[in-house]
Chain A
Protein backbone atom coordinates (compact mmCIF):
# COMPACT_ATOMS: atom_id res chain seq x y z
CA UNK A 1 0.00 0.00 0.00
CA UNK A 2 1.02 3.59 -0.50
CA UNK A 3 2.64 4.99 2.64
CA UNK A 4 2.24 8.61 3.60
CA UNK A 5 5.49 10.49 4.01
CA UNK A 6 5.88 12.86 6.97
CA UNK A 7 6.38 15.91 4.75
CA UNK A 8 2.99 15.40 3.00
CA UNK A 9 1.46 17.81 5.53
CA UNK A 10 3.77 20.54 4.23
CA UNK A 11 3.03 19.88 0.55
CA UNK A 12 1.92 22.76 -1.68
CA UNK A 13 -1.81 23.51 -1.83
CA UNK A 14 -3.35 22.14 -5.02
CA UNK A 15 -5.67 24.04 -7.39
CA UNK A 16 -9.32 24.59 -6.44
CA UNK A 17 -10.58 22.50 -9.36
CA UNK A 18 -8.47 19.53 -8.28
CA UNK A 19 -11.57 17.77 -6.92
CA UNK A 20 -13.74 14.84 -7.93
CA UNK A 21 -15.30 15.76 -11.30
CA UNK A 22 -18.90 17.01 -10.82
CA UNK A 23 -20.39 14.64 -13.42
CA UNK A 24 -24.03 15.37 -12.59
CA UNK A 25 -23.57 19.10 -13.02
CA UNK A 26 -21.57 18.70 -16.23
CA UNK A 27 -24.17 16.33 -17.65
CA UNK A 28 -26.99 18.69 -16.74
CA UNK A 29 -25.17 21.64 -18.34
CA UNK A 30 -24.48 19.55 -21.40
CA UNK A 31 -28.14 18.48 -21.83
CA UNK A 32 -29.16 22.13 -21.62
CA UNK A 33 -26.49 23.15 -24.13
CA UNK A 34 -27.76 20.42 -26.49
CA UNK A 35 -31.21 22.01 -26.28
CA UNK A 36 -32.99 19.55 -24.01
CA UNK A 37 -35.09 21.60 -21.60
CA UNK A 38 -35.87 18.90 -19.10
CA UNK A 39 -32.79 17.97 -17.07
CA UNK A 40 -32.25 14.33 -16.19
CA UNK A 41 -33.32 13.39 -12.68
CA UNK A 42 -30.62 11.36 -10.96
CA UNK A 43 -31.51 8.68 -8.41
CA UNK A 44 -31.35 10.07 -4.88
CA UNK A 45 -32.29 8.39 -1.60
CA UNK A 46 -32.27 9.50 2.02
CA UNK A 47 -31.93 5.98 3.42
CA UNK A 48 -29.14 3.58 2.58
CA UNK A 49 -29.24 -0.15 3.40
CA UNK A 50 -26.24 -1.77 5.04
CA UNK A 51 -25.25 -5.40 5.62
CA UNK A 52 -21.97 -6.03 7.46
CA UNK A 53 -19.68 -8.68 5.99
CA UNK A 54 -20.40 -11.79 8.06
CA UNK A 55 -17.91 -14.20 6.54
CA UNK A 56 -14.20 -13.40 6.87
CA UNK A 57 -12.95 -12.44 3.41
CA UNK A 58 -10.47 -15.30 3.25
CA UNK A 59 -13.44 -17.67 3.47
CA UNK A 60 -15.88 -15.57 1.46
CA UNK A 61 -17.13 -16.18 -2.05
CA UNK A 62 -16.88 -12.87 -3.88
CA UNK A 63 -18.89 -12.17 -7.03
CA UNK A 64 -18.05 -9.55 -9.65
CA UNK A 65 -20.71 -7.45 -11.38
CA UNK A 66 -19.69 -5.38 -14.40
CA UNK A 67 -21.31 -2.92 -16.80
CA UNK A 68 -18.99 -3.99 -19.63
CA UNK A 69 -20.59 -5.66 -22.66
CA UNK A 70 -19.75 -8.95 -24.34
CA UNK A 71 -18.07 -8.26 -27.69
CA UNK A 72 -20.58 -8.54 -30.57
CA UNK A 73 -18.82 -8.98 -33.92
CA UNK A 74 -21.77 -7.53 -35.87
CA UNK A 75 -22.15 -4.39 -33.74
CA UNK A 76 -19.44 -2.16 -35.17
CA UNK A 77 -16.27 -0.74 -33.65
CA UNK A 78 -15.91 -1.73 -30.00
CA UNK A 79 -12.13 -1.56 -29.81
CA UNK A 80 -9.86 0.77 -27.87
CA UNK A 81 -10.63 4.45 -28.69
CA UNK A 82 -13.85 3.49 -30.53
CA UNK A 83 -16.37 6.32 -30.56
CA UNK A 84 -19.50 5.90 -28.46
CA UNK A 85 -21.31 2.85 -29.87
CA UNK A 86 -24.99 2.50 -28.93
CA UNK A 87 -25.31 -0.67 -31.03
CA UNK A 88 -22.97 -2.49 -28.67
CA UNK A 89 -25.28 -1.96 -25.69
CA UNK A 90 -27.09 -4.87 -24.03
CA UNK A 91 -30.50 -4.78 -22.42
CA UNK A 92 -30.67 -7.90 -20.32
CA UNK A 93 -28.62 -9.21 -17.41
CA UNK A 94 -26.05 -11.74 -18.64
CA UNK A 95 -23.76 -14.19 -16.84
CA UNK A 96 -20.52 -15.82 -17.95
CA UNK A 97 -18.24 -18.34 -16.20
CA UNK A 98 -15.59 -16.56 -14.16
CA UNK A 99 -12.95 -19.16 -15.01
CA UNK A 100 -13.01 -17.96 -18.63
CA UNK A 101 -11.08 -15.01 -20.05
CA UNK A 102 -14.09 -13.02 -21.28
CA UNK A 103 -13.97 -10.47 -24.07
CA UNK A 104 -15.86 -7.59 -22.49
CA UNK A 105 -15.78 -4.06 -23.94
CA UNK A 106 -16.91 -0.58 -22.89
CA UNK A 107 -17.54 1.18 -26.22
CA UNK A 108 -21.25 1.36 -25.29
CA UNK A 109 -20.73 3.65 -22.29
CA UNK A 110 -19.46 7.17 -21.73
CA UNK A 111 -15.94 6.50 -20.46
CA UNK A 112 -13.33 9.22 -20.78
CA UNK A 113 -12.22 8.78 -24.37
CA UNK A 114 -9.88 11.71 -24.28
CA UNK A 115 -7.78 10.65 -21.34
CA UNK A 116 -7.96 6.89 -21.54
CA UNK A 117 -8.34 4.27 -24.25
CA UNK A 118 -9.86 1.06 -22.81
CA UNK A 119 -6.91 -0.92 -24.17
CA UNK A 120 -6.34 -2.84 -20.96
CA UNK A 121 -9.43 -4.75 -19.77
CA UNK A 122 -7.97 -4.81 -16.25
CA UNK A 123 -8.64 -1.07 -15.84
CA UNK A 124 -12.40 -1.69 -15.91
CA UNK A 125 -12.73 -5.38 -15.01
CA UNK A 126 -10.77 -6.48 -11.91
CA UNK A 127 -11.15 -10.15 -12.86
CA UNK A 128 -7.48 -11.09 -13.24
CA UNK A 129 -6.60 -9.31 -9.98
CA UNK A 130 -9.51 -11.08 -8.20
CA UNK A 131 -8.29 -14.46 -9.45
CA UNK A 132 -4.87 -13.64 -8.01
CA UNK A 133 -6.51 -12.62 -4.73
CA UNK A 134 -8.28 -16.00 -4.62
CA UNK A 135 -5.04 -17.91 -5.31
CA UNK A 136 -3.27 -15.86 -2.63
CA UNK A 137 -6.04 -16.65 -0.13
CA UNK A 138 -7.01 -13.00 0.32
CA UNK A 139 -10.55 -13.98 -0.65
CA UNK A 140 -12.02 -17.45 -0.16
CA UNK A 141 -13.10 -17.84 -3.77
CA UNK A 142 -14.30 -15.98 -6.79
CA UNK A 143 -17.98 -16.56 -7.59
CA UNK A 144 -18.53 -19.11 -10.39
CA UNK A 145 -19.99 -16.45 -12.72
CA UNK A 146 -19.49 -12.79 -13.58
CA UNK A 147 -22.75 -10.94 -14.04
CA UNK A 148 -23.39 -8.09 -16.45
CA UNK A 149 -25.67 -5.19 -15.47
CA UNK A 150 -27.34 -3.33 -18.35
CA UNK A 151 -26.90 0.42 -17.97
CA UNK A 152 -30.20 2.17 -18.31
CA UNK A 153 -31.42 5.75 -18.09
CA UNK A 154 -34.65 4.44 -16.54
CA UNK A 155 -34.30 3.92 -12.78
CA UNK A 156 -37.42 1.80 -12.86
CA UNK A 157 -36.02 -0.69 -15.37
CA UNK A 158 -32.95 -1.14 -13.18
CA UNK A 159 -34.83 -1.37 -9.88
CA UNK A 160 -37.78 -3.51 -11.06
CA UNK A 161 -36.08 -5.85 -13.53
CA UNK A 162 -32.30 -5.88 -13.52
CA UNK A 163 -31.50 -5.58 -9.80
CA UNK A 164 -33.82 -8.47 -8.81
CA UNK A 165 -32.35 -10.61 -11.64
CA UNK A 166 -28.82 -9.87 -10.42
CA UNK A 167 -29.78 -10.65 -6.81
CA UNK A 168 -31.22 -13.99 -7.87
CA UNK A 169 -28.06 -14.92 -9.73
CA UNK A 170 -25.82 -13.88 -6.83
CA UNK A 171 -27.95 -16.00 -4.48
CA UNK A 172 -27.74 -18.98 -6.85
CA UNK A 173 -23.96 -18.53 -6.80
CA UNK A 174 -23.83 -18.49 -3.00
CA UNK A 175 -22.18 -15.06 -3.00
CA UNK A 176 -21.03 -13.78 0.40
CA UNK A 177 -20.10 -10.38 -1.02
CA UNK A 178 -20.27 -8.53 -4.34
CA UNK A 179 -17.88 -6.12 -6.04
CA UNK A 180 -19.48 -3.81 -8.60
CA UNK A 181 -17.30 -2.12 -11.21
CA UNK A 182 -19.09 0.53 -13.30
CA UNK A 183 -17.32 2.18 -16.23
Chain B
Protein backbone atom coordinates (compact mmCIF):
# COMPACT_ATOMS: atom_id res chain seq x y z
CA UNK B 1 0.00 0.00 0.00
CA UNK B 2 3.00 2.31 0.42
CA UNK B 3 3.27 2.91 -3.29
CA UNK B 4 -0.42 3.71 -3.63
CA UNK B 5 -0.34 6.05 -0.63
CA UNK B 6 2.55 8.14 -1.95
CA UNK B 7 1.04 8.14 -5.44
CA UNK B 8 -2.11 9.74 -4.04
CA UNK B 9 -0.01 12.21 -2.04
CA UNK B 10 2.14 13.09 -5.10
CA UNK B 11 -1.02 13.83 -7.09
CA UNK B 12 -2.32 16.07 -4.32
CA UNK B 13 0.94 18.03 -3.97
CA UNK B 14 1.31 18.42 -7.70
CA UNK B 15 -2.28 19.64 -8.15
CA UNK B 16 -1.46 22.28 -5.52
CA UNK B 17 1.65 23.50 -7.34
CA UNK B 18 4.51 21.47 -5.83
CA UNK B 19 6.48 19.28 -8.26
CA UNK B 20 7.22 15.74 -7.09
CA UNK B 21 9.15 12.62 -7.95
CA UNK B 22 8.50 9.16 -6.54
CA UNK B 23 11.41 6.78 -6.03
CA UNK B 24 9.74 3.38 -6.14
CA UNK B 25 10.05 -0.34 -6.80
CA UNK B 26 6.39 -1.18 -7.58
CA UNK B 27 5.97 0.25 -11.06
CA UNK B 28 2.53 -1.20 -11.77
CA UNK B 29 0.85 0.25 -8.66
CA UNK B 30 2.25 3.76 -9.24
CA UNK B 31 1.50 3.83 -12.97
CA UNK B 32 -1.99 2.41 -12.43
CA UNK B 33 -2.74 5.26 -10.05
CA UNK B 34 -1.17 7.80 -12.40
CA UNK B 35 1.53 10.16 -11.11
CA UNK B 36 3.62 13.00 -12.52
CA UNK B 37 7.10 11.42 -12.20
CA UNK B 38 8.48 8.04 -11.18
CA UNK B 39 12.02 6.79 -10.93
CA UNK B 40 11.55 3.03 -11.01
CA UNK B 41 14.24 0.76 -9.57
CA UNK B 42 13.67 -2.87 -10.52
CA UNK B 43 14.75 -4.00 -7.07
CA UNK B 44 13.02 -5.92 -4.26
CA UNK B 45 10.55 -3.73 -2.34
CA UNK B 46 12.45 -1.80 0.32
CA UNK B 47 15.37 -0.75 -1.92
CA UNK B 48 13.82 2.23 -3.65
CA UNK B 49 16.79 4.43 -2.71
CA UNK B 50 19.50 1.98 -3.87
CA UNK B 51 21.35 -1.17 -2.87
CA UNK B 52 22.19 -1.92 0.78
CA UNK B 53 25.62 -0.68 1.89
CA UNK B 54 26.37 0.59 -1.61
CA UNK B 55 26.78 4.36 -1.51
CA UNK B 56 27.50 4.56 -5.22
CA UNK B 57 24.25 2.78 -6.08
CA UNK B 58 22.33 5.07 -3.71
CA UNK B 59 23.98 8.20 -5.13
CA UNK B 60 23.21 7.17 -8.71
CA UNK B 61 19.61 6.39 -7.79
CA UNK B 62 19.11 9.80 -6.17
CA UNK B 63 20.84 11.60 -9.05
CA UNK B 64 18.53 9.94 -11.54
CA UNK B 65 15.48 10.88 -9.45
CA UNK B 66 16.67 14.51 -9.41
CA UNK B 67 17.11 14.46 -13.17
CA UNK B 68 13.57 13.11 -13.59
CA UNK B 69 12.33 15.93 -11.36
CA UNK B 70 14.14 18.51 -13.50
CA UNK B 71 13.44 17.20 -16.96
CA UNK B 72 10.15 15.26 -17.15
CA UNK B 73 8.32 16.75 -20.13
CA UNK B 74 4.81 15.66 -19.08
CA UNK B 75 2.93 13.69 -16.42
CA UNK B 76 3.27 9.87 -16.26
CA UNK B 77 6.99 10.12 -16.91
CA UNK B 78 8.62 6.89 -15.74
CA UNK B 79 12.35 6.37 -15.95
CA UNK B 80 13.77 2.97 -15.10
CA UNK B 81 17.13 2.89 -13.37
CA UNK B 82 19.69 0.90 -15.38
CA UNK B 83 20.86 -0.82 -12.19
CA UNK B 84 20.05 -4.53 -11.90
CA UNK B 85 19.51 -6.35 -8.62
CA UNK B 86 21.03 -9.59 -9.89
CA UNK B 87 22.09 -11.10 -13.21
CA UNK B 88 19.59 -13.88 -12.55
CA UNK B 89 16.04 -12.42 -12.50
CA UNK B 90 14.49 -15.44 -10.75
CA UNK B 91 14.13 -13.45 -7.46
CA UNK B 92 11.13 -11.76 -9.08
CA UNK B 93 9.11 -14.97 -8.96
CA UNK B 94 9.14 -15.24 -5.18
CA UNK B 95 6.95 -12.33 -4.04
CA UNK B 96 3.51 -13.70 -3.06
CA UNK B 97 4.34 -16.94 -4.87
CA UNK B 98 1.12 -18.94 -4.64
CA UNK B 99 2.84 -22.23 -5.41
CA UNK B 100 4.54 -21.91 -2.02
CA UNK B 101 1.34 -21.32 -0.03
CA UNK B 102 0.69 -24.27 2.29
CA UNK B 103 -2.56 -24.45 4.32
CA UNK B 104 -0.55 -23.41 7.39
CA UNK B 105 0.83 -20.35 5.64
CA UNK B 106 -2.65 -19.45 4.35
CA UNK B 107 -4.08 -19.62 7.89
CA UNK B 108 -1.20 -17.52 9.22
CA UNK B 109 -1.55 -14.88 6.48
CA UNK B 110 -5.31 -14.64 7.02
CA UNK B 111 -4.79 -14.06 10.71
CA UNK B 112 -2.17 -11.41 10.03
CA UNK B 113 -4.35 -9.67 7.46
CA UNK B 114 -7.50 -9.65 9.63
CA UNK B 115 -5.46 -8.26 12.52
CA UNK B 116 -4.15 -5.38 10.40
CA UNK B 117 -7.62 -4.55 9.17
CA UNK B 118 -9.14 -4.56 12.64
CA UNK B 119 -6.37 -2.36 14.08
CA UNK B 120 -6.76 0.16 11.23
CA UNK B 121 -10.52 0.17 11.64
CA UNK B 122 -10.29 0.74 15.39
CA UNK B 123 -7.80 3.60 14.87
CA UNK B 124 -10.02 5.22 12.27
CA UNK B 125 -13.03 5.03 14.55
CA UNK B 126 -11.23 6.30 17.63
A binds B: yes
Identify the A interface with B (CB < 8 A). 1-2, 4, 14-15, 17-27, 29-30, 33-36, 42-54, 57, 65, 67, 84, 86-87, 89, 91, 106, 109-112, 114-120, 122-126, 128-130, 132-133, 138-139, 149-155, 157-159, 162-164, 166-167, 170-171, 175-183
**Closest residue to A130 on the B side, CB-wise?**
B62
A54 to B69, CA, bound (A): 11
The answer to whether B95 and A21 have CB atoms under 8 Å apart is yes
CB of A51 within 8 A of CB of B46, answer no
Find out whether the CB atom of B50 lies under 8 angstroms from the CB atom of A153.
no
Having A117-B52, A178-B18, one finds 17 other A-B pairs with CB under 8 Å, namely: A1-B64, A35-B110, A65-B9, A67-B5, A109-B2, A111-B44, A115-B85, A116-B52, A151-B1, A152-B1, A152-B5, A155-B4, A155-B8, A167-B18, A177-B21, A178-B13, A178-B20
Closest A residue to B116 using CB positions: A86
Instruction: Give the A-B pair count, Cβ closer than 8 A.
Output: 279
Interface contact B60-A2, CB-CB below 8 Å: yes
How many residues on B have C-beta within 8 angstroms of the other chain's C-beta atoms? 87
- Are B59 and A53 interface neighbours, CB within 8 A? no
Residues of A with C-beta under 8 A to B89: 14-15, 17-18
Q: What separation, in Å, do the CA atoms of A84 and B106 have in the docked complex?
A: 15
Pairs across A and B, CB under 8 Å, 28 listed: A4-B82, A17-B89, A20-B40, A27-B96, A33-B98, A34-B109, A34-B113, A43-B32, A44-B34, A45-B34, A50-B72, A53-B19, A54-B19, A91-B120, A112-B45, A119-B52, A122-B50, A123-B58, A133-B63, A154-B124, A158-B8, A158-B9, A166-B13, A171-B16, A177-B19, A177-B69, A182-B5, A182-B24
Out of A20, A178, A181, name the residue touching B19 (CB < 8 Å). Answer: A178
In the complex, the 7 A-B pairs of residues with the closest C-beta atoms, listed nearest first: A111-B46, A112-B44, A163-B12, A182-B2, A48-B75, A18-B89, A50-B75
Determine whether the beta carbon of A163 is less than 8 Å from that of B9: yes
Output the nearest chain A residue to B1 by Cβ-Cβ distance: A151
Q: Do the beta carbons of B95 and A42 come within 8 Å of each other? A: no
Contact B117 A153 (CB under 8 A): yes
Chain A contacts for B1, CB-based, 8 A: 109-110, 151-153
Q: Say which residue of B8, B29, B40, B66 sits within 8 Å of A23 (CB atoms).
A: B29
B3 proximity list for chain A (CB < 8 A): 23, 182
Cα distance A1–B17 in the bound complex, in angstroms: 30
Complex CA gap A130/B55 in Å reads: 12
* Chain A residues, CB < 8 A from B69: 53, 57, 177, 179
Question: How many angstroms from the CA of A163 to the CA of B6 in the assembled complex?
Answer: 9
- Select which of B5, B13, B21, B58 is within 8 A of A170 by beta carbon: B13
